[in-house]
Amino acid sequence: MTAAIAVDTFNRVRTGITRIFRSHYRQRPFISIERERKARRTKAQKKIVRDLDYYARLEGLEVVSFDVVTDDRFVLKLFRVIDPNEPIQIRKNRYPILLIHGLLQSAGAFCVNDESSLAFYLTKSGYDVWLGNNRCGFDHRHLDYSYNDPRMWDWDVREMGTLDLPAFVDHVLHVTGYKKIALACHSQGTTQTFLALSRSHTPDFGKKISVFCALAPAVYAGPLVDRRFFKFIRYIPSWMYRICFGVHAFIPSMISLRKIIPKSWLAYFSYAMFHYLFHWSDERWEKALSGRMFQFSPVYVSAESMRWWLGRNGFASRRCILPDSEEPWFDDRCPPFALWIAGQDLLVDGLRLITRLETLEPHVALLRKDVISEYEHLDVLWAVDSVDHIAKGVKEVVWSTAFERENCRCPTGCEDL
């Protein structure tokens, strides 16, 4: 954190000096839109809270929460975005779509951009939108284990894919009565899904999914995993990793800080830390909303999960979530895929995934492979123009593949599909 703050302070000072002495200083790409939106934002819209329902109500919607229990007895949070003024019978005609967040994130990542939020945009378009929080998150609940029990934290992304994800999907199918749903995930959420769909894990899961939309898919590692900090974690043996990071939650002090510091400070510290670690910036985000964005992250994850990502013989070492051989990962139970790749993403390599799906995966129908050259890893969710580059495409792909869609309400703008 000290290094992150020092680097951020240096960057801010350098930017300020450049702005003063350079006549052609490069402005943020959406600065005029940011200023216009900030000027008309109400006091209620400026309020910073960690409450999905609060931000949904600002858009005329509501969020209903459910508890979902996994096969290994974790209690997860699942949220449904609804239009409170819509009759229940009409609501049943909406096609369901489940959104799953990335590493150290939560469902709030899809709800912080006002009307441009992916969850709210899809709801207003006519979909039945569900949001899943992976195990622990803000609410570390288990039917048998307590926080201090190491067994509470003995899991990684494989359990998220084969236990959390099916639990969410089964609950949505049960409540809605549909036979299949659409799935849209960001970053680690895509990792969970690719693992679950693979022949080596739970391929039958694919029969419940009409289409899988992967945003900044985390399958192949990008150059960022070679940074010194990540290399340190990669090279130390397992016993030393456990001495440094324990066998419970990964750096739980990140979560404890939110209880003792003001929300604006929390947003600053969180942004500085993520920017330092992952080298993404907020250049394309609406800067006035950064306080919201970092109210919903970081969250509790297990030290074991971070070891899977960064430790010895983990993702950073193998540089791929599955064996990178010429053997197919998926069989004919796999649903169609649609990919949105961030061209400036240093964390993961989406172009390499496209190559594999096109050359080594005969059972995969790749419906879409959009590469947004100027985007970074989180821009697929938070960029000012993410509706045009991401949300509209997701809306169209989901409808074009919807299962038994003759019984569903057609989303706005999809009449010709």
DSSP SS3 for 94: coil
Angle, in degrees to the nearest 10, between helices 303-310 and 228-235: 110
Give the position of tokens 């993961």: 348
Q: Quick one: tokens of 359?
A: 């050359």
Give, in order, the Cα–Cα distances in Å from 19 to each of 14, 22, 23, 25, 252. Answer: 9, 6, 8, 6, 38
Give CA–CA dist 177/350, Å, rounded: 34
Beta-bridge partner residues of 221: 348
Q: Exposed/middle/buried for 51, CB within 10 Å: 0-12, 13-18, 19+?
A: middle
Give CA–CA dist 364/358, Å, rounded: 8
Q: Quick one: tokens of 185?
A: 């995930």
Work out whether the CA dihedral 249, 254, 258, 260 comes out positive or negative: positive
Enumerate residues 6+ apart whose C-beta is below 8 A from 24.
Answer: none
DSSP SS3 for 11: helix
Q: If phi over 0 gives left and psi between -120 and 50 gives alpha, with beta otherwise, what is residue 294?
A: alpha
Q: Quick one: tokens of 411?
A: 């989303």
Give CA–CA dist 399/336, Å, rounded: 13
Structural contact between residues 95 and 398, judged by C-beta atoms closer than 8 angstroms: yes
Active site residues: 187, 345, 377
Structural contact between residues 37 and 286, judged by C-beta atoms closer than 8 angstroms: yes
Give the position of tokens 């006035």: 288
Enumerate residues 6+ apart whose C-beta is below 8 A from 100.
Answer: 132, 134, 165, 168, 183, 184, 185, 186, 189, 192, 193
Q: Quick one: tokens of 341?
A: 């790749």
Work out whether the CA dihedral 353, 356, 358, 360 comes out positive or negative: negative
Tally of CA atoms within 13 A in the half-sphere of 357 that contains its CB: 23
